[in-house]
Amino acid sequence: YEKRGMASTTKIMTALLAIERGDLQKTFVAQEEDVRIEGTSIGLKAGDKITLETLVQGLLLESGNDAANVTARVIGNSREKFVSLMNKKAREIGMKNTRFENPSGLTADGHFSTAYDMALLGSFAIKNKQFRNFCSLTSSRVSYGNPEYQRTFKNHNKLLNSVDGAFGIKTGFTKASGRCLVSAAERDGVILVAVTLSAPDDWNDDKKLFEYGFEKVKVYK
């Protein structure tokens, strides 16, 4: 329940709102204000054409901050309005100790959550079939630009290939927040979500959490 920065695990909320509120097949055009941003990107340039589906994959696989900006603008009509939608959704989910200030997770005053709240968000998001399908992709062949051309997104989540049953959810890192990870795995009908914030050994931490959790939790009819 300790309030901490959650870095790019923020994009779980950004992607979820895009899927819930937008038309994934609709094409949008990136603007200069979207692409002027620090940190990770999917290489968008002003004038590039890209579908909302590709933006969501860019959020969840490559953690593109430019993709987060475009998504916020086209879904919320402005970044500020989109952030309001993020905070409204957080309240609906029960995230009582969370505050979003941007759609990407870059360090900002008043942008924080807790491990518990991020577990609530992760658990809620993976109930959406489209979200779960996207966050479980190890890679994806996509096309965007001006003119459009093909490229490959690769998922940063190493647990997908190293933990039995892992299918998500999102990685994150900033110097201020440290390594952050919201992960999910399913075995024998049990789905568990693990969260670590500011965890230098997050891959191994989450592996250990899953081994502990699956040992303790059983399905009863």
- The residues that are catalytic are 8, 11, 63
Enclosing H/E stretch for 67: helix 65-76
CA 110 vs CA 68, 85, 99, 179: distances in Å: 18, 16, 6, 19
Give the C-alpha separation, 9 to 181, whole Å.
7
Q: Hey, what are 10's tokens? A: 């923020």
Query: DSSP letter at 8?
Result: G
Q: Are 154 and 173 in contact, with CB atoms under 8 Å apart?
A: no
Q: How far is the C-alpha of 94 from the C-alpha of 7, rounded, in Å? A: 20
Residue with tokens 């939790």: 217
Q: What is the 3-state secondary structure (H, E, C) of 138-181?
A: CEEEEEEECCEEEEEEECCCHHHHCCCCEEEEEEEEECCCEEEE
